[in-house]
């Protein structure tokens, strides 16, 4: 844009101003002083009124100027700009704090959908009460499965900035790694941030971007951290894609990323849990998977938060290797049948708002799981269970994840809460009183 078409020196006359207005075709010019500061505006209407009162075109331009002219300090102040355009202003100056012109905005320059934005997403970790293992396709394809999980306030956080080229820059704060790809066709799996790369490869974005990933959940925690990462990455890219995936599609694409594309054996509950958030009753079958996202009363969420503590075993769970082993286990059928009975009991108690017996039911689900494989547990885990589960401490516990390590969930009656806290402190255990998350995958934008 040629600023000179809109600016006139304070020493010029009205005739000079008329010539500039005729040339810029916007019906207005702005007067500047020696310091290039705008001191007033002159419209074709201002000139006409001045001449009708007896003025001449040889008079100084300041004689018909308006010192109460309209302007903005921020070109992103679309609210004010739209209001000025609505009053038939054809051009609006953007000024610095000394009222020197930075640029002029015309009607054609306003595009509310072309902002410089950061897309942010976060997806939560989860805890499971019952049903892990029955969410694996090989099991439920013939026999159906069911699980109950809650999401908690440990998150994978992503922010994404769209680029004007096809380059993709991936940064992981947790692994202190940065990968630069010229375009998504260059993606190759080499053990470096493959989970993130797989999300990008399957989504096939038609634009370049910078994506930054960090997570509260360490690998091997048993809290569904990898599903939270893939869901948050997919959610951020999906936000600026021309087509939009719904919650089921995001969860199922996250499953595809990890289980099909990368070949990591596991179930479905982590992906559904992190995307839907809150309390989820999930049922799996050959024909379809269903997620019932239960809206519990706030007081029930609050009460459960005051009954559950997570303790870190400081050992990673066994992950895919254990899942492969369990899928071939002859005891899995009996485990699945009894797990589904426990699922129904816990579901009924939650729906009725009864929480007193849930700890014992959680313990029953863990007892079932321990029978599947002796490597499901170990000396340290058994020792934690023995020392922390009793009439005066926790009602029950279960190891989260596939087994062998990760976090242990303990369920405590109110009367035993402070006894339990004292005990775990005396054992120097890392513990985490939970807070539930009810949003699941959350994606939003903010201006840069």
pLDDT of residue 437: 95
- Answer whether residue 446 is part of any domain: no
- Answer whether residue 440 is part of any domain: no
CATH number at residue 190: 3.30.230.120
Q: Are residues 348 and 199 in the same domain?
A: yes
- Answer whether residue 445 is part of any domain: no
pLDDT of residue 301: 93
- Answer whether residue 442 is part of any domain: no
Q: Are residues 334 and 405 in the same domain?
A: yes
The structure's pTM equals: 0.77
Tokens of 399: 């190891």
- The rounded mean pLDDT for the chain is 90
Q: What angle do CA 392, 394, 398 make, to 5 degrees?
A: 160
Q: Are residues 128 and 219 in the same domain?
A: yes
Q: Are residues 213 and 300 in the same domain?
A: yes
Q: Enumerate residues 6+ apart whose C-beta is below 8 A from 335.
A: 133, 134, 368, 369, 371, 372
Domain boundary among 109, 132, 165: 109
* Lowest-confidence region among 119-123, 171-175, 179-183, 396-400: 179-183
Collapsing DSSP states into helix, strand and coil, what is residue 440?
Answer: coil
Give whole-number Cα distances, 186 to 26, 167, 179, in Å. Answer: 49, 10, 11
Give whole-number Cα distances, 273 to 23, 207, 441, in Å. Answer: 63, 29, 9
pLDDT of residue 111: 61
What would the DSSP string read from start to end of 361-420? HHHHHHHHHHTT-GGGS-HHHHHHHHHHBSTTSEEEEEE-SSSSSSEEEEEE-GGGHHHH
Match 């303990």 to its residue by tokens: 410
The residue segments making up the domain with residue 275 are 118-433
Domain boundary among 68, 89, 109: 109
Q: Are residues 13 and 64 in the same domain?
A: yes
The pLDDT-based confidence of 107 (bands split at 50, 70, 90) is confident
Q: Are residues 271 and 408 in the same domain?
A: yes
- Answer whether residue 230 is part of any domain: yes
Distance CA 429, CA 5 (A): 73
pLDDT of residue 356: 94
Q: Enumerate residues 6+ apart whose C-beta is below 8 A from 325.
A: 373, 375
Distance CA 353, CA 260 (A): 38
| Selection from 296, 305, 304, 258 nearest residue 277 by Cα | 296
Distance CA 126, CA 171 (A): 24
Q: Are residues 310 and 330 in the same domain?
A: yes
pLDDT of residue 116: 76
pLDDT of residue 329: 65
Q: Are residues 74 and 131 in the same domain?
A: no
Q: Are residues 277 and 217 in the same domain?
A: yes
Mean pLDDT of all residues in 211-222 = 92
Contact call for residues 444 and 120 (beta carbons, < 8 A):
yes
Cα radius of gyration rounded to whole Å, the chain:
32
- Answer whether residue 403 is part of any domain: yes
- Answer whether residue 441 is part of any domain: no
CATH number at residue 84: 3.10.580.10
Domain boundary among 57, 82, 109: 109
| Selection from 437, 372, 426, 435 nearest residue 398 by Cα | 372
Domain count, the chain: 2
Above 80 in pLDDT, residue 48? yes
Above 70 in pLDDT, residue 189? yes
- Answer whether residue 189 is part of any domain: yes
Q: Are residues 149 and 295 in the same domain?
A: yes
Q: Are residues 83 and 183 in the same domain?
A: no
Q: Are residues 219 and 359 in the same domain?
A: yes
Above 70 in pLDDT, residue 112? no
């Amino acid at each position: 844009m040629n600023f000179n078409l809109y600016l006139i020196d304070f020493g010029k006359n009205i005739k000079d101003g008329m010539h500039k207005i005729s040339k810029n075709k916007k019906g207005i010019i702005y007067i500047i002083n020696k310091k290039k500061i705008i001191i007033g505006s002159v419209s074709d209407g201002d000139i006409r009124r001045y001449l009708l009162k007896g003025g001449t075109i040889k008079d100084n331009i300041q004689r018909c100027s308006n010192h109460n002219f309209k302007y903005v300090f921020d070109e992103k102040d679309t609210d004010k700009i739209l209001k000025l355009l609505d009053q038939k202003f054809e051009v609006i100056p953007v000024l610095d704090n000394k009222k020197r012109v930075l640029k002029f905005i015309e009607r054609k320059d306003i595009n509310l959908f072309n902002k410089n934005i950061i897309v942010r997403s976060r997806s939560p970790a989860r805890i499971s009460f019952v049903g892990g293992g029955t969410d694996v396709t090989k099991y439920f394809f013939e026999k159906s499965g069911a699980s109950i999980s809650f999401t908690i306030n440990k998150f994978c956080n992503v922010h994404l900035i769209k680029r004007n080229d096809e380059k993709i820059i991936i940064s992981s704060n947790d692994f202190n790694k940065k990968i630069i790809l010229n375009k998504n066709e260059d993606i190759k799996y080499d053990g470096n941030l493959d989970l993130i790369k797989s999300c990008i490869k399957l989504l096939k974005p038609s634009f370049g971007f910078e994506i930054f990933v960090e997570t509260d959940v360490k690998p091997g925690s048993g809290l569904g951290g990898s599903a939270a990462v893939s869901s948050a990455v997919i959610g951020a890219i999906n936000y600026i894609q021309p087509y939009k995936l719904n919650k089921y599609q995001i969860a199922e694409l996250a499953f595809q990323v990890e289980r099909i594309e990368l070949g990591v054996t596991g179930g479905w509950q982590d992906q559904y849990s992190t995307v839907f958030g809150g309390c989820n009753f999930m049922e799996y079958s050959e024909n379809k998977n269903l997620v019932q996202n239960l809206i519990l009363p706030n007081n029930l969420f609050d009460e459960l938060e005051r009954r559950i503590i997570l303790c870190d075993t400081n050992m990673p769970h066994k992950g895919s290797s254990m899942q492969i082993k369990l899928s071939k286990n002859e005891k899995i059928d009996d485990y699945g049948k009894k797990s589904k009975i426990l699922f129904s009991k816990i579901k009924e108690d939650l729906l009725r708002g009864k929480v007193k017996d849930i700890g014992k039911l959680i313990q029953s689900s863990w007892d079932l799981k321990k029978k599947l494989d002796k490597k499901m547990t170990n000396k340290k885990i058994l020792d934690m269970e023995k020392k922390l589960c009793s009439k005066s401490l926790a009602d029950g516990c279960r190891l989260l994840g596939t087994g062998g390590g990760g976090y242990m969930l303990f369920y405590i009656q109110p009367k035993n809460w402070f006894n339990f806290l004292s005990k775990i402190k005396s054992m120097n255990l890392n513990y985490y009183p939970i807070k539930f998350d009810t949003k699941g995958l959350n994606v939003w934008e903010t201006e840069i």
